[in-house]
Amino acid sequence: MSDPAAQGVEVADRRFPTEAKYFMAIGVFFALIATIYLIFSDGEWIGVSLLYAAVIVALVCAWFMTTRVQGAQADVELYEEGEGDQTVYLPTRSHWPFLLALGTVVTANGFSVGMWLFVPGVIVFLYALAGFIREGRDRA
């Protein structure tokens, strides 16, 4: 469906990429819902605060998309030129995620099971975290 008109609209509206508009719409919708709920629910503060928290999350994402994703995605909208950022480093194997998850899981279980699990868990976790970060730093 090569529709030059639609293409034109998207290009003209690049200030707010679709991604940003998406989160803006979520934020505005929840703001509306949260306000209606605030007025009618007679002080049911848990729901009110959760809904407003959702508004904040959505608007922060929208702001981030407006300022950052725009750059990364400019090429996608204009497929005739450029090719997007393809120079991302993508490792194909690493043993750090497994160890980091092992540390996380053992530590979390240690919270409930006991110190004998918690302490080794934390050690594995910290060791793996260091390895994970260093691997990323060295290669990125």
Give the residues lining the site for another protein (CB under 8 A).
1-2, 10, 18-19, 22-23, 25-26, 29-30, 33, 36-37, 40-44, 46-47, 50-51, 54, 57-58, 65, 69, 72-73, 75-77, 79, 82-98, 100-102, 104-105, 108-109, 111-113, 132, 135-136, 139
d(Cα 59, Cα 65) in Å, to the nearest integer?
10
**Residue closer to another protein (CB basis): 87 or 116:** 87
Shortest approach of another protein to residue 36 CB, angstroms?
Answer: 7
Half-sphere exposure of 49 (CA within 13 A, CB side): 4
57-91: burial string, b at 16+ Cβ within 10 Å, e else: ebbebbeebbeeebeebbeeeeeeeeeeeeeeeee
**Residue closer to another protein (CB basis): 36 or 126:** 36
Shortest approach of another protein to residue 140 CB, angstroms?
Answer: 10
d(Cα 99, Cα 96) in Å, to the nearest integer?
5
Shortest approach of another protein to residue 22 CB, angstroms?
Answer: 8
